[in-house]
Amino acid sequence: MTADSHTATETGGLAVLNDAVRRDLEVIDYPRHDWTPRLVRDGEPVLDVAIIGAGQGGLATGFGLRRGNVTNIRIFDRAPRGGEGPWITFARMITLRTPKYVTGPDLGVPSLTPRAWYSARYGAQAWAELDKIPRQDWQAYLDWYRDSLALPVENDRSFERVEPEDGLLRLTFRDSAGREYRHLARKLVLATGIDGNGAWHVPDFIRQALPRGAYAHTSERIDFAALRGKRIGVLGAGASAFDNAATALESGAASVALCLRRRVIPSVNPYRWMENTGFLAHFPSLPDTLRWRFMRHIYDLNQPPPQDTFWRCRRHPTFSYHTGCGWTGARMDGEEIVMRTPDGEMRFDFVIIGTGFATDLARRPETASFAGSVALWQDRFTPPAGEENALLAAHPYLGDAYQFLPRDPADPLAPMLAAIHNFTFGATPSMGLSGASISGMRFGVERLARGLGRDLFVADGAWHLESLLNYATPELVSLDPPDA
């Protein structure tokens, strides 16, 4: 098949799929009308829901709200179109880590599933032969999903802050040229991904001892071509550390040494256990002690590198890994980076930090102004003796629809916090897998969308009653039969 004929087949397949999406959504379109009042404040229209982040979680939330006939929404993302999320920016795996059969953004609509899209683009046989979905294809799927559903996304909008304004939320954005944009909204959803409740973490001893050009975090853009012929050190035990090690090796690095504190590389992936309907749908209903014990064990296990990712590194003879070898100090020796470890010093030309992120709302610009008012797990729960976990304790303690709760119920910001829904990885201890996880997205979006709709309806209860009292559209219009 020529390139031109492949493109034509791909285009034709997606056109047919787009028709199927429209047909499926029409078939299940009930009820068939919007139901929220359109508010205007001093001539300015008010959004029912503003969603920050147009990655997989934000897009799926937009669709989930539309399924509930909440259409007065808008989705904002700081990235240019097509660059939302990590998939073509700093994700360096070859494929997704999740099995190809996992669904999520489709919310149960077959024509919107990754399988339907992949088969339409490449053919059913290609899907049958596929192991896992390539990350670039996942971004292409999300781009198609956005377009096929005509979701209202504004790119180049960096969210700066939220403030209360007469019972509403005043949102401030800025574009890449520095222009400011302001919107009013009733509800705000933070769908800002894995670091949405904090910041990527680089140990202090590295930041303080090394020049900025000597290291990079796995979440940053890295010029791997510039690492050709160099000795690279990687710190971390997770999948992203291995992904970056492999990318450096494939780019011609002279050697890569991956170092981790753990004595054994993690091998059990708790995400595969969590992929059952009971856990995904009902975990948030468990009492605090059980939720704490689940998450304490899951966080202790960590997520290991997939087998294919590990072999991607091991196939290079210049790759080595060192367990029980966490870095404890750093210094420069001329042009060389010297890392202190329990096994002695190690010397590199460049180092990559894969130590994850710190959960701290005060470190996110858009949440810093209200971080001190948010209830954390440490404020609401005291674990049994011997079951303490500082990492879990630092996470926000959320309400039943992902909303922030106040540390002090009398806090003047309490009403604003109730209107902000935290659909990020930071929701995991309270809600289980959610917006930053493909595995739990379907269940998380359904819970979030129902909660948002519930809150809007309850807030407008009197308005809806008045609408009913004024309803006078007759259904019985004739007392005589048609053939009389």
How far is the C-alpha of 294 from the C-alpha of 305, rounded, in Å?
A: 21
How far is the C-alpha of 256 from the C-alpha of 244, rounded, in Å?
A: 10
Which residues, 6 or more positions from 87, have their beta carbon under 8 angstroms from its beta carbon?
A: 135, 136, 138, 139, 142
Count of Cβ atoms closer than 10 Å to residue 450 Cβ: 15
Count of Cβ atoms closer than 10 Å to residue 381 Cβ: 17
CATH class for the domain made up of 202-267+304-355: alpha beta
Q: Is the CB of residue 62 less than 8 Å from the CB of residue 73?
A: yes
How far is the C-alpha of 46 from the C-alpha of 283, rounded, in Å?
A: 34
The CATH architecture to which 3-197+359-460 belongs is 3-Layer(bba) Sandwich (3.50)
Q: Is the CB of residue 299 less than 8 Å from the CB of residue 391?
A: yes
Q: Among residues 158, 152, 304, which one has the least CA distance to residue 241?
A: 304
How far is the C-alpha of 42 from the C-alpha of 19, rounded, in Å?
A: 41
Which residues, 6 or more positions from 94, have their beta carbon under 8 angstroms from its beta carbon?
A: 134, 135, 308, 312
Q: Which two tokens stand for residue 374?
A: 């948010």
Query: What per-residue confidence (pLDDT) applies to 4?
Result: 46
How far is the C-alpha of 352 from the C-alpha of 331, rounded, in Å?
A: 15
Q: Please identify every stretch of the chain with a pLDDT value under 70, giving residue numbers as ranges.
A: 1-11, 484
How far is the C-alpha of 418 from the C-alpha of 398, rounded, in Å?
A: 10
175: burial class by Cβ within 10 Å (0-12, 13-18, 19+)? Answer: middle
User: What does the H/E/C string look like for the chain?
Assistant: CCHHHHHHHHHHHHHHHHHHHHHHHHHCCCCCCCCCCCCEECCEEEEEEEEECCCHHHHHHHHHHHHCCCCCEEEECCCCCCCCCCCCCCCCCCECCCCCCCCCCCCCCHHHCHHHHHHHHHCHHHHHHCCCCEHHHHHHHHHHHHHHHCCCEECCCEEEEEEEECCEEEEEEECCCCCEEEEEEEEEEECCCCCCCEEECCCHHHHHHCCHHHEEECCCCCCHHHHCCCEEEEECCCHHHHHHHHHHHHCCCCEEEEECCCCCCCCCCHHHHHCCHHHHHHHHHCCHHHHHHHHHHHHHHCCCCCHHHHHHHHCCCCEEEECCCCCCEEEEECCEEEEEECCEEEEECEEEECCCEEECHHHCCCCHHHHHHECEHHHHCCCCCCCCCHHHHCCECECCCCEECECCCCCCCHHHHHCEEECCHHHHHHHCCCCCCCCCHHHHHHHHHHHHHHHHHHHCHHHHHHHHHCCCCCCCCCCCCCCC
Q: How many residues does the chain have?
A: 484
Query: What per-residue confidence (pLDDT) applies to 11?
Result: 63
Query: What per-residue confidence (pLDDT) applies to 252?
Result: 98
Q: Is the CB of residue 86 less than 8 Å from the CB of residue 474?
A: no
Q: Where in the chain is the domain with CATH 3.50.50.60?
A: 3-197+359-460, 202-267+304-355
Which residues, 6 or more positions from 243, have their beta carbon under 8 angstroms from its beta carbon?
A: 91, 92, 93, 218, 305, 309
Output b/e per residue, 141-164; b: 16+ Cβ within 10 A: bbebbbebbebbbebbbbbbebeb
Query: What per-residue confidence (pLDDT) applies to 243?
Result: 96
How far is the C-alpha of 203 from the C-alpha of 354, rounded, in Å?
A: 10
C-alpha dihedral sign at 47, 49, 50, 54: negative
C-alpha dihedral sign at 391, 396, 399, 400: negative
